[in-house]
Chains A and B, each alone.
Chain A
Amino acid sequence: MPTRSEITQAMRFEYGIRPDEVRFQGKLLDQLAGADPLDALLPVESTEARFVELGKLRALRQSMGGQADAFKQARRRLRRQGAIGAMRNLARMVQNPRGFRERLFAFWLDHFTVSPRRANEDYMLGAYLEEAIRPHISGRFSELLKAAVTHPSMLFYLDQNASTGPNSVAGQRHSRGLNENLAREVLELHTLGVGGPYTQVDVRQFAELLTGLGIGPEGMRFSPNRAEPGGEDIMGRQYGAARANISHIYEFLDDLAINPATATHLARKLVVHFIGPIERPALVADMAQAYLDSGGNLTSIYEVLINDPAAMAAEFPKVRPPFEYVATVLRALDFDAEGVLNASASGTRKLGKALEAMGQRPFKPSGPDGWPEAAESWITPPQLAARISWAGQAARTFADDRDPRTLMQNVLGDTAPEFLSFAVSGAETKWEGVALLLVSPSLMRR
């Protein structure tokens, strides 16, 4: 039976208890050290390889036409890859004994939200997760920032690929110009925060600095002939005075990463995400200071967060969003990665529909600010109805022979509320007892 502190940690910082798992030994922060065995178990196609595949697909269409079977088959394969990307993500959440690692990954993925609109972008998403986000969750934030902001998935999503310096060679020739989208969201969402020290003029100047950054046939590409000539003054410093080069963009992103406003913005977001909505200015200030003192190291900011007394408090003001909730339920039912990845295409589609009904269509938040944090945002009457219906089906399908009392002991130890113990024992059938456990606030809150 798991101990109280194991349960608190699994609830607040991981995806709950998986009864048949050998729990990770060591401190929470130790989960972040070294390589993750799951990377080798669940390998993914690189961004580069995916661009090669897209190139082959284009060539097929050119040579055989859009109606040829060979083209359609190849396109189907790439489309299926897109769906597999989301399921692989879920498989990792379910399987990984280093749950904190997966939670941080999900946090940063949401911080750097992308939402594919076309089949190409859907296909590219899996590479964005594994190359732009996952390798950078415990190192320097500047590395994460640069990787995410310059990945083709982000360049598509925030229209950077459509932005051209109006006075550049390409801009003059095709009379194209700026698109501010990426510049604004990097400042507002990814770094300084909306209250940060920037103005509309800085947005504009940064958009000029970003010109040249786009997508070529082999992936991210910097095209000097699309870059706005001359330097840009952003927030009181000049960037890019010399010949247009991507290093000027990196230079500004490096400066943004260690701006004190960025430190505070990231600290506040982490506190709201992992602890709760109540303002904790002292904790936020300590985290921001540790971050700045370490030169922008993310592990330093996490260390202050998880050592705060609030981190192990037995109150759970947050609610797991649907995708997280699904992972928590599957873990409680002893699913593993294989079980998730073996889901049929129709099973995957059904899960997508269920998540949409719960209010979280995978990878489709309403904007680049990602998913809401407030508990109230996830338990509206129709959303809760969808959770109850889905969990009921999961219990009936996967746990009709499980003793709900044993399952509750294994998942909640001696933290189960009294009435919940009574209810799971008093249900008419085993599966209904399991369902009641799965839809209880104890499995949904964190």
Chain B
Amino acid sequence: MTLSRRKFLIQSTVLGCSAAASPLLTPVTLAAAPGDNRLVVIILRGAMDGLGVVRPSGDADYARYRPSLAADNDMQDLDGFFALNGALKGLMPLWHAKELSFVQAVSTPYRDKRSHFDGQDLLETGSDDASGAPKSGQTGWLNRALGLLPDARQETAFSVGTARMLLLDGAQPYSSWSPGADLEMSPQTEALLAGIYADDPLFASSAEMALDLSAKTESMAGGRAGNAKALAAFTAARLNEETRIASFSIGGWDTHNNQNRNLARALKQLSDAILALKSGLGANWQRTTIMAITEFGRTARENGSGGTDHGTGGAMVMAGGALNGGHVFGQWPGLGELDLYQNRDLEPTDDVRRYLGWALRDLFGMEASALGSTVFPGVDMGDNVGIIA
């Protein structure tokens, strides 16, 4: 019997403390790892400006909408129509090696209120509710996907960084640790601590995992939880062991103001993270797919302060040796006033969840029908989007 950590957490919140044994005491069975493919999901918090990253420089309206943002001396041509923001120049070797792709004009079903916080919740729950209203007991789509992996264990999925990620929360067990974290104590103190936490499952399960992972992983002195490169290096080390699915966040995308500078800063973090994953993964890079997703895009027109405000359609950034690289996927809706969503935002022409779902199908063999019912309920998976090589 495997009782999940999450179930205990729910019980502890609803019923007060339960005296059940810690779920992490479930013996680890040494079954085969669920395949060799690896997936890294990076949540870009704050709404990345997809139009400023994968620039539709072939669309005449673009420069007209963005007089102070469209010029970029370092801009890299991708396919003659789209060009890459110069701050991602360091990723161009990946593009040429067919290890980098993008999806343009996608979104979750979230519409109209343009709240970061509801938008991020919807991105992580994979819910079909366009209002984005948070519901109690909601779980992350990546956690539900773990339920479709026959051999998934605690180590199979890893949340990297100090913060809890809704994306991985749910009934399936997963690991959570951060570069720089460390925990040591004498065996007697450890035993007493276990007794003190025995009646509080939230504390019991976290302490047990902390002691276990602290012993198994290097603390990476100097690695800071807020540094994307450190998060990525730690993630790569886990993926080289038993972990197959990992996730972390990068913030700093809410560029209302002075976007030329602020977007470049955030992109540097993303670029550093992708390159640190590649170098850390070594040969496993060939079996890895990175998908960086954000809650929504930003306004097509720049605002009055050299930035952009909250929008709708956005972009995804994907990298990895397992990828069908060198493409800008998605159907371009155009930027004409009638093409825009509410004459303001890029019109989403596809659902971000379809891309995530097909990646799960191609990397881990999950059935499209199960993905459409359990992981992304309400999504019509349609034809394969073909992002995995």
In the complex the two chains form, is A379's CB within 8 Å of B206's CB? Answer: yes
Per-residue CB contact flags for chain B residues 320-343 toward chain A (1 = under 8 Å, else 0) read 000000000000000000000010
User: Within the assembled complex, what's the spacing in Å between the Cα atoms of A279 and B134?
Assistant: 13
Contact partners of A231 in chain B: CB under 8 A:
none
- Stretch in A17-25, A86-94, A217-225, A433-441 touching the partner: A433-441
A-B contact pairs, 30 of them (CB 8 A): A159-B256, A159-B307, A166-B304, A176-B305, A177-B304, A179-B256, A180-B303, A188-B113, A195-B133, A199-B112, A200-B112, A200-B113, A200-B342, A279-B136, A315-B16, A317-B13, A357-B180, A366-B45, A367-B116, A379-B203, A380-B159, A380-B162, A382-B161, A384-B206, A386-B181, A388-B183, A420-B196, A427-B188, A436-B192, A441-B203
In the complex the two chains form, is B256's CB within 8 Å of A384's CB? Answer: no
A203 to B: closest C-beta gap in Å: 8
Residue among A163, A317, A382, A444 making CB contact with B304, cutoff 8 Å:
A163
- Whether A164 touches B113, Cβ cut-off 8 Å, given contacts A179-B257, A419-B198, A436-B196, is no
In the complex the two chains form, is B162's CB within 8 Å of A359's CB? Answer: yes
Contact partners of A200 in chain B: CB under 8 A:
112-114, 342, 344
Contact partners of B249 in chain A: CB under 8 A:
366
User: Within the assembled complex, what's the spacing in Å between the Cα atoms of A357 and B219?
Assistant: 12
B137 to A: closest C-beta gap in Å: 11
Total interface residues in chain B, CB < 8 Å: 69
Q: Does B283 contact A (CB under 8 A)?
A: no
Q: Which of B162, B226, B249 has the most CB of A within 10 A?
A: B162
Q: Does B251 contact A (CB under 8 A)?
A: yes
Q: Does B182 contact A (CB under 8 A)?
A: yes
Give residues 305-324 of B contacting A (CB, 8 Å): 305-307, 309-310
Per-residue CB contact flags for chain A residues 232-270 toward chain B (1 = under 8 Å, else 0) read 000000000000000000000000000000000000000
In the complex the two chains form, is A194's CB within 8 Å of B118's CB? Answer: yes
A141 to B: closest C-beta gap in Å: 21
Contact partners of A162 in chain B: CB under 8 A:
256-258, 304-307
Give residues 317-353 of A contacting B (CB, 8 Å): 317, 319
**CB-based A-B contact count at 8 angstroms:** 184
Using CB atoms, name the residue of chain A closest to B303.
Answer: A179
User: Within the assembled complex, what's the spacing in Å between the Cα atoms of A374 and B138?
Assistant: 13
User: Within the assembled complex, what's the spacing in Å between the Cα atoms of A441 and B161?
Assistant: 23
Q: Does A400 contact B (CB under 8 A)?
A: no
Contact partners of B113 in chain A: CB under 8 A:
188, 194, 200
Per-residue CB contact flags for chain A residues 350-382 toward chain B (1 = under 8 Å, else 0) read 000000111101000011010010111101111
Residue among B180, B197, B226 making CB contact with A361, cutoff 8 Å:
B226
- Stretch in B83-91, B144-152, B207-215, B235-243 touching the partner: B207-215
Besides A188-B113, A384-B203, A427-B188, 10 other A-B contacts (C-beta < 8 A): A164-B305, A179-B309, A356-B226, A357-B178, A361-B226, A375-B13, A382-B178, A384-B206, A436-B193, A439-B193
B186 to A: closest C-beta gap in Å: 7
Per-residue CB contact flags for chain B residues 250-264 toward chain A (1 = under 8 Å, else 0) read 010010111000000
Q: Does B176 contact A (CB under 8 A)?
A: yes
Contact partners of B141 in chain A: CB under 8 A:
none
Q: Does B285 contact A (CB under 8 A)?
A: no
Contact partners of B189 in chain A: CB under 8 A:
427-428, 432, 435-436
In the complex the two chains form, is A180's CB within 8 Å of B310's CB? Answer: yes
Per-residue CB contact flags for chain A residues 194-226 toward chain B (1 = under 8 Å, else 0) read 110001100000000000000000000000000
Using CB atoms, name the residue of chain B closest to A174.
Answer: B304
In the complex the two chains form, is B46's CB within 8 Å of A367's CB? Answer: yes
User: Within the assembled complex, what's the spacing in Å between the Cα atoms of A156 and B69?
Assistant: 22
A380 to B: closest C-beta gap in Å: 5
Contact partners of A310 in chain B: CB under 8 A:
none
Contact partners of A441 in chain B: CB under 8 A:
196-197, 200, 203
B377 to A: closest C-beta gap in Å: 22
Using CB atoms, name the residue of chain B closest to A361.
Answer: B226
Contact partners of B199 in chain A: CB under 8 A:
417, 419
In the complex the two chains form, is B206's CB within 8 Å of A380's CB? Answer: yes
Q: Does B177 contact A (CB under 8 A)?
A: yes
User: Within the assembled complex, what's the spacing in Å between the Cα atoms of A166 and B181?
Assistant: 49
List chain A positions with a Cβ less than 8 A from chain B.
159, 162-164, 166, 171, 176-181, 184, 188, 194-195, 199-200, 277-279, 315, 317, 319, 356-359, 361, 366-367, 369, 372, 374-377, 379-386, 388-389, 392, 417, 419-420, 422-423, 426-428, 432, 435-436, 439-441, 444-445
Contact partners of A159 in chain B: CB under 8 A:
256-257, 305, 307
Q: Does B63 contact A (CB under 8 A)?
A: no
Using CB atoms, name the residue of chain B closest to A359.
Answer: B162
Q: Does B115 contact A (CB under 8 A)?
A: yes
Q: Does B381 contact A (CB under 8 A)?
A: no
User: Within the assembled complex, what's the spacing in Å between the Cα atoms of A389 and B258?
Assistant: 40
In the complex the two chains form, is A379's CB within 8 Å of B202's CB? Answer: yes
In the complex the two chains form, is B196's CB within 8 Å of A385's CB? Answer: no
Contact partners of A179 in chain B: CB under 8 A:
256-257, 303-305, 307, 309
In the complex the two chains form, is A386's CB within 8 Å of B188's CB? Answer: no
Contact partners of A195 in chain B: CB under 8 A:
131, 133
User: Within the assembled complex, what's the spacing in Å between the Cα atoms of A444 and B198?
Assistant: 15
In the complex the two chains form, is B256's CB within 8 Å of A180's CB? Answer: yes
User: Within the assembled complex, what's the spacing in Å between the Cα atoms of A10 and B69?
Assistant: 53
User: Within the assembled complex, what's the spacing in Å between the Cα atoms of A427 and B203?
Assistant: 20
In the complex the two chains form, is A188's CB within 8 Å of B13's CB? Answer: no
Residue among A278, A381, A389, A427 making CB contact with B209, cutoff 8 Å:
A381
User: Within the assembled complex, what's the spacing in Å between the Cα atoms of A180 and B131?
Assistant: 20
